[in-house]
Structure 1
Amino acid sequence: MTGSETKAAVAWLTSVAPDPGACRWDWERNPRGIALLPAGKRWDVLILPGELGCPTLDVLTRLIDRPGPVLADRGELRMGFFVPPGTASHWLGSGIRGCGEGTWIVVPYPGRATGGVRWLIPPDGSGTVTDAGLLERAMHEAAGAAARDTREERPEG
């Protein structure tokens, strides 16, 4: 990320904080490089298990040039896809956690390495998030491919 992209991403992310200026100031000086930000204002986050999230991201990047921001924890055991606000309140999916209004998420500073959570696709600062319908399509395609692979690996009997 360039300096101006990072600045725009930080401004967009901190705009949801109760005091955006104080949040930005603290975040820039935080040795861990993380902030706790409220979901449900400019974005919700759908958290997928890594075994579904990784192939979903692969499908998503084939469907569109640049999806919205995506977070991953260490080892990519869980991945968080930024989607439009309100998505989490009506999302139904086994093993998928929705973080919307009333929840907070740990967010790493864009372009800075942290010990735990990291950006797979950092925010671009323009407010781009992944369309929930497109994400659902990518998840179905990824799950279908995994099911086909599992069937092909089973010995016939």
Structure 2
Amino acid sequence: MTNTMWMRGIEWLAAASADPRACKWEWDHGEGIALLEAGRFWDVLSVPERLGLLTLDLLWRPELPVPGPTLVDTAAGRVGFFVPPDPSASWVGAGLRYAGKGSWVAVPPPYRPARFLEWLVPPDGTGALHSPGTLEDALRQANATLTVLTPVQGQ
């Protein structure tokens, strides 16, 4: 990413904070993690890490747009996909968690990891997010693959 893209990504992400300046200060001088409210610019679909990593891999296809912002929480073993805000979203599946309006999400700055949080795909500042339909298709495909592989690995 270019410096301009990094700066736009920082500004875009910090704009979700009630106080963008305090958010950026926390990233640079505090713990390196800011709590940002979902529901205004984006929501987050959080999935188990193994499913999330395979899903992200499936989203990196030449015929698809570059995946939207994606965050991994190595302590919790989860991957978060940033999607458009949708108050009527109904993501259903084992281990899926949806953070919408009224939910808070811990995020590091786009330019470096902080403790257990790291961007797999940092925000580029354009507002690009994961397409829910494309993400759902990739999740289904990844889940089907894991369902087939799990019994083999368990033997």
d(CA) in 2 for partners of 1:154, 1:36: 38
Gaps of 5+ in 1: none
Percent identity (aligned): 42
Aligned to 1:17: 17
| CA-CA distance at 1:135 after TM superposition | 0.6
Aligned-residue CA RMSD (Å): 2.2
Aligned to 1:116: 116
| CA-CA distance at 1:153 after TM superposition | 6.1
| CA-CA distance at 1:76 after TM superposition | 7.5
Aligned to 1:41: 40
DSSP-derived class of the 1:36 partner: strand
d(CA) in 1 for partners of 2:40, 2:127: 11
Greater Rg by CA: 1
Aligned to 1:85: 85
Aligned length: 154
d(CA) in 1 for partners of 2:94, 2:76: 18
d(CA) in 1 for partners of 2:112, 2:125: 16
DSSP-derived class of the 1:85 partner: coil
Q: Residue 17 and residue 53 in structure 1: after superposition, are their counterparts in 2 closer, same or farther (change >3 A)?
A: same
Aligned to 2:148: 148
More helix per residue: 1 or 2? Answer: 1
| CA-CA distance at 1:86 after TM superposition | 1.1
Are residue 55 (structure 1) and residue 49 (structure 2) matched?
A: no
Aligned pairs (5 A) from 1:62-73 = 62=61, 64-73=64-73
Contact 1:46 1:88 in 2 (8 A): no
Counterpart of 2:55, as a letter, is T
Contact 1:84 1:130 in 2 (8 A): yes
Q: Residue 22 and residue 77 in structure 1: after superposition, are their counterparts in 2 closer, same or farther (change >3 A)?
A: closer
TM-score (norm 1): 0.87
Contact 2:26 2:33 in 1 (8 A): no
TM-score (norm 2): 0.88
Q: Residue 153 and residue 103 in structure 1: after superposition, are their counterparts in 2 closer, same or farther (change >3 A)?
A: closer
| CA-CA distance at 1:65 after TM superposition | 3.9
